[in-house]
Amino acid sequence: MAMQKRFVLFLSLFVFMPVVAVGVLALTNSFRVHDLQVFGSVPSFSLTERSGKGLRSEDLKGKVWIASFIFTHCDGQCPLLCEKLKRVQSKFRFKENFRLLSITMDPTRDTPDVLKEYATRFEADPYKWLFLTGEKKSVDSLVQNGFRLASNGPGGAEPEGITHSFKLVLVDGFGRIRGYYDGLEDASVKDLLSDTKSLLRKTF
Helix (H) or strand (E) holding 64: strand 64-70
What is the pLDDT confidence band of residue 39, given thresholds at 50, 70 and 90? very high
Q: Does residue 72 sit within a domain?
A: yes
Q: Does residue 6 sit within a domain?
A: no
pTM as predicted: 0.80
Helix (H) or strand (E) holding 101: strand 98-104
Q: Total structural domains in the chain?
A: 1
Q: Does residue 117 sit within a domain?
A: yes
Q: Does residue 97 sit within a domain?
A: yes
d(CA 201, CA 67): 19
State the residue range of the domain holding 113: 46-200
pLDDT in tens, 65-113: 999 999 999 988 999 999 999 999 999 999 999 999 999 999 999 999 9
* Domain of residue 102, CATH code: 3.40.30.10
d(CA 82, CA 166): 10
Does the pLDDT at position 36 exceed 80?
A: yes
Give which of 194, 181, 198, 154 is closest to 81, Cα–Cα. 181
Q: Does residue 21 sit within a domain?
A: no
Q: Does residue 2 sit within a domain?
A: no
pLDDT in tens, 133-190: 999 999 999 999 999 997 764 434 444 567 789 999 999 999 999 999 999 999 999 9
Q: Does residue 187 sit within a domain?
A: yes
